Amino acid sequence: MNSSEEIAVSGMSAGRSAMRMGPAELVQAAAMARRFYLEGKSKIQIAEEFGVSRFKVARVLETALERDLVRIEIRVPAELDAERSDALRARYGLRHAVVVESPAEAEESPDPENLGEVAADLLGELVNEGDVLGLAWGRSTIHMAAALDRLPPCTVVQLTGVYDAGTAERGSVEAVRRAAQVAGGDAHPIYAPMLLPDAATAAALRNQTGIARAFEHFDKVTVACVSIGSWEPGISTVHDMLSDEERAHYASLGVAAEMSAHLFDAEGRRVGRDLGERCITVKADQLRRIPEVVAIAGGQRKGPAIDAVLRSGLVTSLVTDTSAADYLMTAGPAPKSALNRSDPDGV
């Protein structure tokens, strides 16, 4: 007898007096439950075997559950928190929310590396053959690309410039190449910094052949993967690229979060739009039109930033950790559904 059957039999014995079922009824109920839950037989097949109606089988199975004759356990891998995932999905109206257990030694650290591993598995589910996958700059997306081991044939395009052109080969450019290699599809990297000194320089770079070719794919992206940064040192690459005066200026506008060089206040409204003119990045309106935008971000320190970006309507799915999820579940009034892709600014 296997362990599942042992649980069922112990349930029979323990519940006998309360259930007021005779031994024949108990044995038959246990046998029906075993056929249905362990052997995968249909109610019609069970009815034919025992010579009763399928309605009788349904009543017996229902009683078995109600009276603890059968116990059903739902198990997911230990690192996934199914309860928090479902609660977070419902609160923000997300298409998918996957919450990963925070590493005990790194609860305060942003974007634990295991987020990238789980996000890689999620992309394996979401991307279909012929899709165009867009990857934005971010440590979490780099970790995700490194963990990829399966993708259907698709095109992969870089959605933003890089933090430091000197590290392109080890950063988002390599992430795009890696994803395209796994998928067996075309890669469209961007060999340019994310932030330029002025709008004119950025415009000139956008017109360069390789960069322009990547930009042509932005409106074709069907699944995008992005990172989220808090407006503080070391947790936002854009914040770290700006001068002290520029940081102070944008902080005065109420910046709470940054995603792909787009800035958001605590309510998810975009602020500091002039910064985008100096950046090599996908436009916010283009992100809003992408059917599936997956954000990878975690850590308690990033909680407010994640909340702000989710309220923007630009993200449809989230991979995060328990530390950030606990903050998000109590972060002010419940927002509108993230799947309502309207702009909070009303423009």
Instruction: Identify the residue whose tokens are 């079922």.
Output: 21
Q: How does pLDDT run across 60-76, given as a tens digit for each residue?
A: 998 888 877 887 766 65
**What pLDDT, on the 0 to 100 scale, is given for residue 2?**
39
**What pLDDT, on the 0 to 100 scale, is given for residue 243?**
87
Query: If pLDDT is split at 50, 70 and 90, which confidence band does 16 have?
Result: very low
Find the range with the poorest average confidence among 8-17, 79-88, 133-142. 8-17
Q: How does pLDDT run across 188-211, given as a tens digit for each residue?
A: 999 888 999 999 999 999 999 989
Instruction: Calculate mean pLDDT across residues 129-146.
Output: 91
**Which residues have C-beta within 8 Å of that of residue 233, sequence separation ≥ 6?**
239, 240
Task: Choose between 104 and 267: higher pLDDT.
Answer: 267
The answer, yes or no, to whether residue 343 has pLDDT greater than 80, is no
Which 3 state secondary structure label does DSSP give 5? helix
**What pLDDT, on the 0 to 100 scale, is given for residue 3?**
37
Q: Which residues pair with 223 in a beta bridge?
A: 133, 292
Query: If pLDDT is split at 50, 70 and 90, which confidence band does 106 have?
Result: low
The answer, yes or no, to whether residue 5 has pLDDT greater than 80, is no
Tell me how far apart the alpha carbons of residues 343 and 170 are, in angstroms, rounded to a whole number.
Answer: 34
The answer, yes or no, to whether residue 169 has pLDDT greater than 80, is no
Instruction: Identify the residue whose tokens are 């109590």.
Output: 330
Task: Choose between 146 and 4: higher pLDDT.
Answer: 146
Tell me how far apart the alpha carbons of residues 130 and 230 are, in angstroms, rounded to a whole number.
Answer: 34
CA angle 99, 259, 196 (to 5 degrees): 150
Instruction: Identify the residue whose tokens are 């309106």.
Output: 285
Which 3 state secondary structure label does DSSP give 111? coil
**What pLDDT, on the 0 to 100 scale, is given for residue 103?**
74
The answer, yes or no, to whether residue 342 has pLDDT greater than 90, is no
The answer, yes or no, to whether residue 107 has pLDDT greater than 80, is no
**What pLDDT, on the 0 to 100 scale, is given for residue 165?**
45
User: DSSP state, 280?
Assistant: -
The answer, yes or no, to whether residue 142 has pLDDT greater than 60, is yes
Neighbours of 87 (CB within 10 A): 16
Instruction: Identify the residue whose tokens are 């109420």.
Output: 254
**Which residues have C-beta within 8 Å of that of residue 155, sequence separation ≥ 6?**
131, 132, 133, 180, 185, 186, 187, 188, 217, 220
